[in-house]
Structures are given as structure tokens and as C-alpha cells.
Structure 1
Amino acid sequence: MKKIGVLTSGGDAPGMNAAIRAVVRAGIYNQLEVMGISRGYAGLINGEIEKMELSSVGDIIHKGGTILKTARCDQFKTEAGRKQAINVLNVYGIEGLIVIGGDGSFQGAEKLSQDGINTIGIPGTIDNDLAYTDYTVGFDTAVNTVLDAITKIRDTSTSHEKATIIEVMGRNCGDIALYAGLAGGAESILVPEESFDIDDVCKKIVQGKSRGKLHNIIMLAEGTGNAFELQKEIFTRIGVEARVTVLGFIQRGGNPTAFDRLLASRMGAKAVEYLIGGKSGVAIGMKDNKIIHMPIQEALSEEKEFDGEMYKLTGVLSL
């Protein structure tokens, strides 16, 4: 193998640049030519490809986002689109492709692998919703971003003696809400994996007020319900007008934490090693602080196991 490519796809995640840097530098260290593909699969189809040098990835390990940009591509989901992408890879002489992204990006990599293209997947998504790995690149940074927001919101909630609903990302996976909520001392944490009783949420607010508590933080994963509907329901039941803060894309940005930089660097270097070793159609992950790999198809078929013990702990500590 003499030439490999790297792209980022789907939603951006802090640490993607660290992964790109690791791929490029590990590739050059192993005497490979590394091609950067801009704008994900869309850029691959359109031939937006440039050779990357050591200087191409200088001073990016600490930056959020992705220097290769990212985009979603419906055309790639079609057989004709993938055929065009493969033709472009062949024209550029790219023998192996490293895809950094989430489950949709991995599905694309798996299809390319089935068509004979050597592919490796690196999990880059803030949701931490890939079951085969303990952590995905970007999750730790997103949790710390939300935690910082909780700290700031608590200050003003305390000053005004208000309850606050903080809506965070997590359509199908509540890990951001769970981890940030527990670390931030939230009174209620509402996630899609667990049903909740609105009366219990209201009860905590009332009990807190009765003992002189000046604030109440309610963490809401977006897949659990609408923050403004919850706000109305709380007011209807107990007459408390909770404030709503929707953090939105702020969770995707910012400098990656040390953990995400290390995780991305280890995974990026290992991806190059696996390509050189002839592996294809595999996803890289982390289990018990060790870098592991498994077939992408198998990785995507695993069901995410929600940490029920941690969730119960939130109830114990929020009395």
C-alpha cells in the first residue's frame, strides 16, 4: 500500500482534527502518501482531494471542528453515487480509506469495503451512541462543554431563585445528559432510555423550595421530549415558571479535551497500522482503555447498553 485517503463525515466532533493529524503523520512515518478528502463522501464523489503534508496538520490538534470540512451526501447512498466515488478513488490511486464519523458514515465505509475498497472507521460523534466502543471521539469534550454551561446557568438560576430546563443533544442516546447532569449536580435527568414521571420532577422542585434551595436544574436529552412543553407542564402542575436553555450546536464546538485528543491520536495511528496490515471493513474503538477493532457490520449491530446504575445514582444524589 502506497497511498491512503482520509475524510470526515456526518456531524462534526471535537477531536476530529487530532484524528486527521494522527492519520497523516502516522501515514507519512510509514512512507505512505496521504490524501485529504474534503466535505466527506460528497467531496469524494466530486474529487475534492489534495495531498497532505506534515505541515498540513500542523497546529490543529487543539482545534475543534474539522479542517477537512464535513457534509451529508444523499447521492452516496445510491449505487450510482458509490460507483462514482470508487472511480474517483481509483483515479487518484487511493488504496485505503479512513472514515471518521458516526453510524451513517460507518455504513458508507462498510458498503465501500463490500465493493473492494480497504476501509477503516474511526468513531467521531459527540453522542457516544456507538455501542461497540466505550467512548467516541468528541463525547468527553461535549460533556465538559455542557458542564461548563450548567455551572454558569446555576449562578443566574440561584440569583433569581429559578428552576431551569437545559436541553442537550441526544436523540436516541442520553449519555451527554446523564454524564453532564450527574457531574453538574442536576436535580432531574431525563433521557430517552428511561421513562420519567413528570410528578417526580415537580416534587423535587417543590421539596427543594421547601428547604430553601435556590435553584433546580433539569437536564433534558432532546430525544426525551420538548423543553418548552415540559416548561408548560411544570407551570400547569405547580405554578413554577422554569426557564429553558437549549444549548444546541455549542455542544459540537470548542477545543477538544485532553482525553479526546489522546483518544483521537491513538485511533488515528492505529487506523493506519490496520490498513498497512491488510485489515478492511473494521471499526476502531476503545474498551477498558485499550484500542480494539471489529467488523463494522458487527459494531453497528451491537445494541447500546444504558448505564442504569449511573442513572440510579442521579436519583440518590439529587435528594
Structure 2
Amino acid sequence: MTDVIVRATGLRKSYGKTEVLAGVDLAVRRGSIFALLGPNGAGKTTTVRILSTLIDADGGTAEVAGHDVRTEPAKVRTRISLTGQYAAVDELLTGEENLLMMGRLLHLPRAPRKARTGELLERFDLVDAAKRPVKTYSGGMRRRLDLAVSLLASPEVIFLDEPTTGLDPRSRQDMWQVVRDLARTGSTVLLTTQYLEEADQLADQIAVLDNGRVIAEGTADQLKSTLAGEQVELHLADAGSYDEATRLFNGTALHKDPERRSVSVATGGSAAEVRLLLNDLADRAIAVERITLRRPTLDDAFLSLTGNKR
């Protein structure tokens, strides 16, 4: 795969007796948006920290933009940027001053530094706020400025660790558009996120981590296709029927919600199949109040793959 710009093979990392990564393999295509999903503690942030040269792996290999992260970390750092979960900008400086200061730290000449600052302020819709102290910015504006700072050196690969944490829905939508624009202009984006909708909306490719391993990989549609094309959500009439239904579908139910007395199971979606299911439940004296048919979401695939039922 000649278009692979980030490659990891057999990455391992432990902290004491706790194994965080147990052999992670990744291949990220140039110019794509790649999402790492997984439960808390699955190893997403550790993977990003290894790929961005912040920590060393205990085993395995990784290359970014053709350079080994262990033996050529300085060369890797010239090709990447990393934006963490919280904005790392100086609140006492203005947005413009933050960009100019970082430009000086990157040894950008004066004229290109000023030109790049103006370009990024415009690109991230911060021109009107450029002269204001960052402490007066909203959360979404701080995140946009943080990302603008990370793009001063025009990196080939951008690591975003939960980029929309703490943002309101409108700011999250704005950030999604920024990420799409980055990929559209040729950057490669590798992001971690707790928002499954975010990966569904943005990612060209998704890897699901669980217990330090990649347990599934593909597009959002491919991951959804691991489930049946349709689901039947059964709303049971009483607590006894709910208990009987959960026993009947133990290990195969996609969702279980005791408060709503609902159980979701996979189905092909045909009327004949649904009728057979309801007849079987009636024969077992399991009372169904109503049913809802729906297509699986990335949430369903994620919960099924990681073994977390709800």
C-alpha cells in the first residue's frame, strides 16, 4: 500500500503489570480521516502518543511519513501536529499573538510567519477575534485556535485526540467541518473520539480497539454490516415478559433496557420474519406491547463488537 502514511505493526505497551496495547496494527491512507474508537482504557490515546513520538512502545514498529517513530523521532515531528483533548493556548495572549509566538518557536521567518497567521485566522473564522485575549473566547473558538496553531508548519499528518470534547453541538458541527476541510486540502487526520456519531460522520476508515487490540476495522457502513440489516426493538408488556425475553435472547440481543422494558434483536427486516418472531414470542407467553423496526447504527456495531450490551 504505497499510499499509507501512518503504519503500525504489533505495537505493545504496558505500565507495570497492566498491558495497554497488546499488538496493534494500523494502516492509515494519505489524505484520509482515520478514527480510533474504543471504550475507556482501550488504548486509543496511548497509540496516538506512540505515533506522535511522545512515548516509546515496548514492542512493535511504527512509521509516520516514511520515518520510524523510535529511531527518527525528530524527523517525524517535522511532519506532524498533535492536538490534545484540551486547548493548549495562552489565555493572556490574543489569538493573533498565540499564532505569532508559535511561529517564532518554529523558526518561521517574519514575513511568512505573519502571512501564515493571517491565513489561519481567516481559515478558522477568527479574524474578528484576532486582537482579543483568548480568555474571552468560547470553547469552540479556543479549539479552533488550538488547531490553527498546530497547523502553522503545514503538517502532513494531524493527530486529534478527542477534538470536540466539551463542545456544544453547534461548535462540534463547526469542528467537524474544519476536519473535513483539512482532509479535502490533502492533510491526513487520525482522530480518537468518544462520540460514535463523530466517527460515523467524518471517518473514511475506523478501527475499533478493545483490551489493547484492534478487534474490527473498516468503513462505518462495513462495521454496521456486521449486524443484520434491520433490528426489531421489542417493547415488552410487563416485567415478567421482559425477563423471559432477555433469557431467550441472551447473548444475541443488541440492546437491553430494563427501564423501558425493551430488547433489540437482529432481523432481516421482512414481514414474514417479523411475524415468525412475534408468533414464537406469543407461543412462549411473552407479551409484546409494541415493536419498532430500525436500521443499525455505528453505536450498535460498537456495542456489539466490544461486548457491551445495554
Q: Scaled by the length of structure 2, what TM-score is found?
A: 0.30
Report the structure number with the largest CA radius of gyration.
2
* More contact order relative to length (CA 8 Å, sep ≥ 6): 1
As a proportion of its length, which structure holds more helix? 1
Q: Scaled by the length of structure 1, what TM-score is found?
A: 0.30
